[in-house]
């Protein structure tokens, strides 16, 4: 399968700081990437869809000014959690879409665990 | 609203048995169906995809799709303790957004 990486894998920061998470498709170009958040023992929640060269599409209830998404190249999308607070502590996972014929598959990165103190 | 339903479990099976995981979906126009496995603390890993009615086998895994009944299942033969994880059913509609079920936790006891 296709490989998607995320960096960092784990980050601890102080309340009020900003944290940037990178998502890279390593062996394919991804015009579309997705950002998810998952709280312990809860299901995946789609936060936003990141499209290369255009603005991200955010899901209802997700603050676009707090979760800044940039998809400047076909292999890189970044999520910046601005002015992080303890309630933002979560497991953030990206995925990249790989078209295949008339369908497509999403491959997930390994995730970034964020802890805000 | 598109919905994907799964029994949350846990589904407990003994080692060597067949585990059967089920999923129903609401959008009749859905085209592609996926099973992901998620170990505790890890991100989801794609294990099977299926696009046509019928069965698709890959090693110990068999995905089954019935579009008329809007039902997709995953069978795991010869279950191993290492198969213990949460299995996520995901459905792709024409809008290129995957809708995930909440997952079924599988526990395989030695």
Across chain B, which has 110 residues, the per-10-residue mean pLDDT values are 88 97 93 94 94 95 96 98 96 80 95
- Residue A10 scores a pLDDT above 90: yes
Of B9, B7, B4, which is closest to residue B84 (Cα–Cα)?
B9
pLDDT of residue A2: 83
Q: Which residue has the tokens 């592609």?
A: B32
Distances (CA, A) of B36 to A4, A93, A107, B55, B98: 15, 14, 10, 17, 12
Burial A18-30 (b: 16+ CB within 10 A, else e): ebebbbbbeeeeb
- Residue A101 scores a pLDDT above 80: no
Distances (CA, A) of B32 to A117, B61, B64, B96: 41, 17, 12, 10
Query: Higher-confidence residue: A59 or A99?
Result: A59
Q: Which residue has the tokens 């953030």?
A: A92
Mean pLDDT across chain A:
93
The alpha carbon of residue B22 is apart from the nearest alpha carbon of chain A, in Å, by 17
- Residue A47 scores a pLDDT above 80: yes
pLDDT of residue A1: 67
Mean pLDDT computed over A66-88 = 94
Q: Minimal Cα distance from A34: which residue of B?
A: B97
**pLDDT-based confidence at residue A11 (cuts at 50, 70, 90):** very high
- Residue A102 scores a pLDDT above 90: no
Helix (H) or strand (E) holding B68: none
| Strands A45-51 and B19-25, sheet pairing | unpaired
Chain A residues lying within 8 Å of B103, measured CB to CB: 43
Mean pLDDT computed over A12-38 = 94
Query: Higher-confidence residue: B78 or A99?
Result: B78
Q: Minimal Cα distance from B49: which residue of A?
A: A105
pLDDT of residue A57: 93
């Amino acid at each position: 399968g296709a490989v998607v990486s995320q960096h960092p894998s784990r980050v601890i920061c102080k309340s009020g700081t900003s944290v940037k998470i990178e998502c890279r498709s390593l062996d394919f170009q991804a015009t579309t990437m997705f950002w998810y958040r998952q709280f312990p023992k809860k299901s995946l929640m789609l936060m936003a869809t990141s499209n290369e060269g255009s603005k991200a599409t955010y899901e209802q209830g997700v603050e676009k000014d707090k979760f800044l998404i940039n998809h400047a190249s076909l292999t890189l999308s970044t999520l910046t959690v601005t002015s992080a607070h303890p309630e933002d502590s979560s497991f953030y996972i990206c995925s990249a879409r790989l078209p295949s014929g008339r369908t497509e598959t999403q491959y997930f990165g390994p995730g970034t665990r964020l802890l805000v103190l | 609203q598109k919905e994907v339903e799964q029994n949350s479990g846990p589904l407990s099976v003994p080692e060597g048995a067949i585990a059967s995981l089920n999923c129903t979906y609401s959008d009749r126009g859905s085209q592609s169906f996926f099973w992901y496995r998620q170990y505790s603390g890890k991100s989801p890993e794609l294990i099977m995809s299926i696009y046509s009615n019928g069965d698709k086998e890959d090693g110990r895994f068999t995905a089954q799709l019935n579009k008329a009944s809007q039902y997709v299942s995953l069978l795991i033969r010869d279950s191993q303790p290492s198969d213990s994880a949460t299995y996520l059913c995901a459905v792709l509609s024409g809008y290129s957004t995957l809708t995930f079920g909440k997952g079924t936790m599988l526990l395989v006891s030695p």
